[in-house]
Chain A
Amino acid sequence: GAGVSQSPSNKVTEKGKDVELRCDPISGHTALYWYRQSLGQGLEFLIYFQGNSAPDKSGLPSDRFSAERTGGSVSTLTIQRTQQEDSAVYLCASSRLELEADTQYFGPGTRLTVL
């Protein structure tokens, strides 16, 4: 596709359940980023991938959060045993190169609601 796509667009789950969020980056983009955006908060960096490896996982809030990327393309963010405080919009972005000033192109996000 022309842009970054994310699925599902909305996810409602019960506390304690596991969820998987998917990101399809722009074809050929090397770097992929996950952010979380809560109401009234800025974008909180979670993790980024260079190819299939994740050099920086420092933003993951807890060990319930994990992410993987396969084939240098699709990435999934998994949240285990979801809690109400996990409710947020999860945004994925990709960039052509892993450069600090390189343009990041964002997907529309997945809105996660934990009841």
Chain B
Amino acid sequence: TQLLEQSPQFLSIQEGENLTVYCNSSSVFSSLQWYRQEPGEGPVLLVTVVTGGEVKKLKRLTFQFGDARKDSSLHITAAQPGDTGLYLCAGAGYSTLTFGKGTMLLVSP
């Protein structure tokens, strides 16, 4: 069974701070996806990283895929209250996704 470990589980910060969340696995994935989920809604895809060492930027969010394609990180610069939510990483397998348990981020004004 492929497992994805996310850390930290919970993060509470002030507006304007920077943060990094991590997604680690002992397994290699062909691609890895990051989702954000708000209360009462389903997850929404933020980015897919495919190539080892790949870095993708989405405004203030920077996503990195490890060289060995086993781990990934999400860095948020100058966090805003609108970034509050559950961040989930998911490794792509054959036709299915394996999700981590997520990092709950709370950004206070």
Contact = CB atoms under 8 A, between A and B. Distances in A.
Contacts, number: 66
A77 B96 CA distance: 18
A45 B96 contact: yes
Nearest to A4: B42
B48 interface: yes
Contact of B42 (A31, A45, A103, A109): A109
B42 A108 contact: yes
A111 to B, nearest CB: 9
A40 B42 contact: no
A25 interface: no
A103 B31 CA distance: 12
A95 B59 CA distance: 25
A45 B98 CA distance: 7
B93 interface: yes
Contacts of A50: 95
Given A42-B88, A101-B30, A101-B50, A106 B44 contact: yes
B contact face: mostly helix, strand, loop, or mixed: loop
Interface string A68-103: 000000000000000000000001010000111101
Interface in A39-63: 40-45, 48, 50, 55-56, 59
Given A56-B96, A101-B48, A108 B101 contact: no
Chain A, interface residues (CB within 8 Å), range? 20 to 34
Interface of B: 4, 6, 30-31, 33, 40-45, 48, 50, 88, 90, 92-102
Interface of A: 4, 31, 33, 35, 40-45, 48, 50, 55-56, 59, 91, 93, 98-101, 103-109
7 contacts: A45-B97, A55-B95, A59-B96, A93-B42, A101-B31, A104-B97, A108-B40
The 7 closest A-B pairs by CB, nearest first: A106-B42, A100-B92, A43-B99, A42-B99, A42-B101, A101-B31, A106-B43
